[in-house]
Amino acid sequence: MESPVQQYLQAIADACASTDGAVAGYIPELAAADPDRFAMCLATVDGQVYRVGDASHRYSIQSISKPFTYALALQDLGVEAVTAKVGVEPSGDAFNEISLAPGTGRPRNPMINAGAITAASLVDGTDGADRFDRVLAWYGRFAGRELAVDEAVYTSELATAHRNRGLAHLLREFDILTGDPEEVLDQYIRQCAISVDTRDLALMAATLANGGVHPRGGEPVLEPGVVERVLSVMTTCGMYDAAGDWVSSVGMPAKSGVSGAIIGVLPGQVGVAVFSPRLDGHGNSSRGVTLFERMSTDMEMHLMHVSRGSRSAVRNAYSLAEGLSRSRRRPAEQDTLARVADRAMVYELHGDLLFAGAEAIVRTVVEDDPELAVFDFSHVNEIAMVSRRTLVALRDRMREQDALAVVVDPEGVLPDPDAGTDRATRYFPDVPAAIAWCEDELLSRYGGDVAAHDPVADHPLLALLDDEQCSAVQAVMHESSYRAGEVVLAAGGAFAGVHLIVEGSASARATGRDGRSVTLVVMGAGTSFGELALGTGDVQETEIVADSDLRLLVLPADRLERLTREQPALALAVWQAIARDGYRVADRALRRGAVHQHQG
């Protein structure tokens, strides 16, 4: 099953196609780029990468290198030493403007060229070549693979780097650079020519989103405090003289490069990279800006969006083979469910469901590919609009493949947009009710001849008796009936015999700690109740209530006692059947309890 997240990214890529802008013309190698090439990747903080377009096409990293070199300088020297050489204030100028603080010559921030050249000089190393080797290995840790320089881009850019050469010498004049400016310039041009693809950039952004820990493998790359400073500077300075528009319309830390790429970071959730070589008047990818604006709106990615801010996750996921319902079913039905129960899954969710949480749910369901899915929102506090749309899309995608999703939502945090129509989703008050529905649905789909049964003859108490024994037991049973809602057995009463359900259903109920009635077991035709009192000192500990009009066959306690005295061989067979059925019920309860213990 294709992920709705993948479908969404493809849809907005198609909707935001554009021919506005032109490729960077001042570097010959960039001027030769295919203007219509496109790629977009979204990487989550736990390592999932979604790709659209030519995500493996490689190009030079250009100015997207700047925040990562700045991060390395900060990690090498510390904030105070780096800030003495390069500030953090937005310049309001284009990326290649001569923007130095009056008097000191200090570049205003590390995202413009003057500041980036300075940051490159601050990386620890014996010379420019040594510093560059450290930078190359550093970028590779963020990308998760070894990177290399595009020598053609390097040679082309170095030959036309007249303005950057002037900046380097001006920085040396103010003693911002203390070494050979040509050596630093060469190092800077090389770092801009490092070859990456869009997947690399998405993972580099996701490493920042993950607090400096690489999403795949969990390697700590950057200290969290440094991550905060880098993301802050990216937010205010990363898009040059369009930074104000970017923060207002997109609202996430970002960095662009003149090769046509943009990275964006949504802390705690995702890293996004877009590549499209046509640039706008600010030197940013025209299509990339449009796509980020669309994603920010659709996915509520703006940093100023008011939400509870926590990431939601799948609290627990288990199949019906592990988490059984409270329904007592006949052996033939149990055999069928044992064969197909893993086709149905329960997903228990919690927290505030932002995009990252919805994506995690979608990915889990796509990987499991269940035929039936129960989504439990009992522990969810808040759901972002993008998450609502994503989950509805997941439901629709499941329906296309003849799979069904149902919802447990006692607090009403996820209203059904299709309520009242034939596309409405089934909602249940609790997980046991939803699981019972799933079991019924599986039995309907795979039960075969299970549906055709004799609720009396097929009952575990009678099924293993021979015809003569079965007739003898039925002869001492009597029929009884109850209306829906009537109490059949009151809690605290004495053992009243074995009650076999012929038609209808009943529930065993107890009083919870809050004083409210709690349904423990739901029982349908072909099952029985009352006999468990034999294991509790002959006292009926639960209340049995008719859920619907109920018809019973009852083997009263006094007749069972008389049968034991007068026909011991027959009574032994009956007692053995009661014991077998009791063990079966106990096994189901233990397995269900194990699942709930794991949930806690």
DSSP letter for each residue of 479-546: EEEE-TT-EEE-TTPBP--EEEEEES-EEEEEE-TTS-EEEEEEE-TT-EESGGGGGTTTB--SEEEE
Map residue 346 onto helix, strand or coil.
strand
Give CA–CA dist 75/122, Å, rounded: 10
In the chain, which residues fall in CATH 3.40.710.10? 4-298
Provide CB contacts within 8 A for 62, sequence distance 6+.
Answer: 192, 257, 258, 259, 261
Give CA–CA dist 74/124, Å, rounded: 10
Task: Name the residue with tokens 């203390």.
Answer: 178
Map residue 228 onto helix, strand or coil.
helix
Mean pLDDT (the chain) is: 87
The pLDDT of residue 501: 85
pLDDT digits (tens, 9 = 90+) for 210-227: 999 999 989 999 999 999
375: left (phi over 0), alpha (psi -120 to 50) or beta: beta
Provide CB contacts within 8 A for 464, sequence distance 6+.
Answer: 573, 577
Give CA–CA dist 587/581, Å, rounded: 10
Burial of 108 (0-12, 13-18, 19+ CB in 10 A): buried
pLDDT digits (tens, 9 = 90+) for 377-431: 998 888 888 889 999 999 999 999 999 999 999 888 898 999 888 899 999 877 8
Give CA–CA dist 283/551, Å, rounded: 79
Secondary structure (H, E, C), 538-554: CECCCEEEECCCEEEEE
The pLDDT of residue 73: 97
Provide CB contacts within 8 A for 36, sequence distance 6+.
Answer: 19
Hey, which CATH number is domain 313-450, 2.60.40.180, 2.40.30.10, 1.10.287.990, 3.30.750.24?
Answer: 3.30.750.24
Judge whether 322 and 591 are in contact, CB under 8 Å. yes
Judge whether 319 and 342 are in contact, CB under 8 Å. yes
In the chain, which residues fall in CATH 3.30.750.24? 313-450
Judge whether 17 and 382 are in contact, CB under 8 Å. no
What kind of architecture, by CATH, is found in domain 4-298? 3-Layer(aba) Sandwich (3.40)
Q: Cα-flanking dihedrals φ and ψ of residue 551, to 5°? A: -120, 130
Structure-block tokens of residue 148: 């290399």
What is the rounded average pLDDT of the residues 176-200?
96
Positive or negative, the Cα torsion across 148, 149, 150, 152? negative
The pLDDT of residue 588: 55
Judge whether 134 and 124 are in contact, CB under 8 Å. yes
pLDDT reading at 548 higher than 50: yes
Give CA–CA dist 421/290, Å, rounded: 36
CATH number of 467-599: 2.60.120.10
Show the DSSP H helices in 345-425 as ranges: 355-368, 385-400
**pTM as predicted:** 0.71
Q: Cα-flanking dihedrals φ and ψ of residue 36, to 5°? A: -100, 5
DSSP string, 465-482: S-HHHHHHHHHT-EEEEE
pLDDT reading at 94 higher than 60: no
Give CA–CA dist 425/406, Å, rounded: 6
Structure-block tokens of residue 387: 């998450």
pLDDT reading at 305 higher than 50: yes
| Active site (catalytic) residues | 63, 66, 188, 240, 258
Task: Name the residue with tokens 């009952």.
Answer: 459
In the chain, which residues fall in CATH 2.60.120.10? 467-599
- List of long-range contacts for 449-454, beta carbons under 8 Å, 24+ apart: 450/330, 450/332, 450/333, 450/336, 453/330, 453/332, 453/526
Counting residues of the chain whose pLDDT is more than 70, the rounded percentage is: 88
pLDDT reading at 333 higher than 90: no
The pLDDT of residue 364: 92
Question: Residue 489: how many CA atoms within 13 Å on its side-chain side?
Answer: 29
Map residue 86 onto helix, strand or coil.
coil
The pLDDT of residue 596: 47
Closest by alpha carbon to 231, among 74, 62, 59?
Answer: 74
Cα 480 to its chain centre, rounded Å, is 52
Structure-block tokens of residue 230: 């880098």
Q: Cα-flanking dihedrals φ and ψ of residue 381, to 5°? A: -95, -40
Give CA–CA dist 434/441, Å, rounded: 11
pLDDT digits (tens, 9 = 90+) for 436-475: 889 889 998 998 554 455 666 666 677 667 888 888 888 8
The pLDDT of residue 589: 54
